[in-house]
Amino acid sequence: MVAIRVQSHAKTLGPIGLGRNTCGLITSRPNQGSAYPKRWEDEDHYKGGWELNSKGKLQLRAGNKVNKIALGKIFYQPDMPELDDYYEPWTYDYQTLFGPEKSHQPVARARSQITGLKMDLKTGPNWDDDLAGSPEYFKADPNMEKIETDIKANFEQAFMMYLPRLCEHCLNAPCVASCPSGAMYKRDEDGIVLVDQERCRGWRFCMTGCPYKKVYFNWKTHKAEKCTFCYPRIEEGEPTVCAETCVGRIRYIGAMLYDADRVEEAAETPEEDQLYQAQLDLFLDPNDPEVIEQALADGISEEMLEAAQNSPIYRMAVEEKIAFPLHPEYRTMPMVWYIPPLSPVMNYFEGRDSIKDPEMIFPGIDEMRIPVDYLASLLTGGNVPAIKHALYKLAMMRLYMRAKTSGKDFDVAKLQRVGLTTGTATSLYRLLAIAKYEDRFVIPQNHKEQVEDAQSEQGGLGYDECAGCALAPQHGSMFKKAEAGESTNQIYAESFYGGFGVINFKQLTTIRPALVTLSQLVDYPDEETFTASNRAALMSYPINAQKAKLLAAFDAIAAQTPLEQQAHYAGLFEMNKRYTLYMSYYKMTDSRERGTILAKLKMMYEMFGLTTVNSELADFLPLLLEFLAYGHFEGDARQQDIKLAFQVIEDGTYTLLQNAAADLDDPYFQLLQVVRATLRTCVETGVVAS
């Protein structure tokens, strides 16, 4: 989780979180009419985040899967920010500044870097920062709409702050739920939200779904990109680059324990101003013996528990309650929290007798409704008392430490009113003002020694009796069998490469034309896929037992229009993670394990002469079928190694069809059954390769 102190003038305001933190975009507040994108907090317009339906259940503002398919939104983005909502990048005609002397001074006009045409500059990055914008920009801040009209005009005189905005790595991330391809995912081990670049198909629903607008589209790669929270550094126990290099030392990173089973319940809290407290209640006390016992039973390491017990985030967010999530009303449960700026309040009292009479702080904060209401709109969903309590505590801590260091008297009884003692006030001051490196960043290392070796774990996978097992079982059965005294030959005969049997290449040659057809049918359809000529080719399908089922499935899909076929395919395989055609996805939840399988498949493709021309992952079912149809296996002593492709397909399709038990009548699932039955004719079980 991350904490940042947000800056107000020369002073700081910061966020806290059990997630990850990047520098991100820093803008001044208010006056964000030309923010990035404009009015990014106006979710009535951009449809980001979550909302409650009529039954009080969570649903995406942009619509669920059925809504997107039914309305055709899968093929366009009506709610996504446009280029003009950000700004059109430009350059200048610098070449006009070079040349012989002329009677008129040369002018370098602005030119669009997209169209190359001359343009009149109307907005740009940081266009209205530092209160430089006109009243038009000032009024464009959505948070200002929640403040009473009679105090809006004087808001510029109240205060200004800097807000570092970055990916929140939410517990209830709408970008993950929005992605049709399942490319967005949240890591179990540390909560970092990432994008699988190979799986991303550029649907861009993640951009709409993210209410903080921290997912971007790379027009060169046609992939979504976002903050990675420097996860390789986090795995090694090191902070993110932005946090480590922050000159103001306003960023903190720490571990937090939370009740994952209650996230949905917390996000469905009806009152928006209670969502902050609902998320706060999710966090568990790392010093509670019952929590420790359950955490150890659930596999959380002692090192992680120790980090959670020493977390600066837990101290600020839970114990002292001086840190808050950014716009909790989006119901995303963000994990980057912010400490509100104290400067607007303290600047009001500078030069006054505030130390002699600390009680004047309380009515002073109560009277400064403008910054308090604004901060409540920004950080607590309108929970003003929570913001006031934090400001009371921060102000009293500052006054006490000023009196202590200057040798003046201070009535310590005043600290008790805000829940502080002399000891806690001093320790909080040390954490916020002069914390050492190891106090600001308490990050446990990932225990890689607890991760199973995918290469050795792929043993023990029978073919006929494989009940949807993963390619890497939880415990390596080959080693267990060796320890039990089985011979090498016995283990080989029972393992993946032995008990699986051998490939009958004569039969494989017979069905190769059929594999070409099947590869096309289970791929994304176009206007040439389900045509009469392709159906005629199916009449010579070599597996008679499967021909009727194949033709029936073909006819059912061919009855749809090409657009309906594409919507059917996308809704089935690209908007539902349970029905993905990436065969190693289901059980390879660890990215390193799955990466090993993908690398072996790609190596196998190259070994047998198949060159891939697209960016699909190696475990994509149509690509696997193409490999079996076009690979050069004849006469190669390594030809039995292609069992890996058979096993990946067998295991992946088994799990997919198990997940689709209630929808097996769908013609695409009928096609997958034909694929399985066709490939099985090539496997001779009970035979060991010579």
Task: Report domain extents, the chain.
Answer: 251-442, 502-684
- Of 10-14, 483-487, 662-666, give the range with the top mean pLDDT: 662-666
Q: What is the pLDDT of residue 500?
A: 54
| pLDDT grade for 12, boundaries at 50, 70 and 90 | very low
In the chain, count H helices and then E strands: 32, 18
Reported as a single tens digit per residue, the pLDDT across 537-577 is 888 888 888 889 999 999 999 999 988 999 899 888 887 77
Q: What are phi and psi of 677, to 5 degrees?
A: -65, -35
| pLDDT grade for 687, boundaries at 50, 70 and 90 | low
The structure's pTM equals 0.63
Q: Which residues pair with 316 in a beta bridge?
A: none
Reported as a single tens digit per residue, the pLDDT across 471-484 is 333 334 444 555 56
Task: Tell me the CATH architecture of domain 502-684.
Answer: Orthogonal Bundle (1.10)
Nearest to 13 by CA among 244, 252, 230: 252
What number is the average pLDDT over the span 111-116?
90
What number is the average pLDDT over the span 97-109?
85
Other C-beta atoms closer than 10 Å to the C-beta of 352 total 11
Least confident of 211-225, 363-377, 616-630: 363-377
Is a pLDDT exceeding 90 seen at residue 331?
yes
> Is the four-CA dihedral 23, 200, 83, 47 of positive or negative sign?
negative
- CB–CB of 257/308 below 8 Å? yes
Reported as a single tens digit per residue, the pLDDT across 56-68 is 999 999 887 777 7
The total number of residues shown for the chain amounts to: 690
Is a pLDDT exceeding 90 seen at residue 494?
no
Is a pLDDT exceeding 60 seen at residue 453?
no
CA dist., res. 591 & res. 462, Å (int): 24
Other C-beta atoms closer than 10 Å to the C-beta of 609 total 12
Nearest to 375 by CA among 398, 401, 394, 399: 394
Q: What are phi and psi of 91, to 5 degrees?
A: -135, -170
CA dist., res. 283 & res. 317, Å (int): 10
> Is the four-CA dihedral 375, 27, 338, 160 of positive or negative sign?
negative
Pick the CATH number of 251-442 from 3.10.20, 2.60.40, 1.10.3470, 3.30.70: 3.30.70
Q: Which residues pair with 523 in a beta bridge?
A: none
Q: What is the pLDDT of residue 425?
A: 94
Other C-beta atoms closer than 10 Å to the C-beta of 261 total 8
Token pair in block for residue 623 = 């690509």
Reported as a single tens digit per residue, the pLDDT across 577-605 is 788 898 888 766 666 677 788 888 888 88
| pLDDT grade for 252, boundaries at 50, 70 and 90 | very high
Of 348 and 332, the structure prediction assigns the larger pLDDT to 332
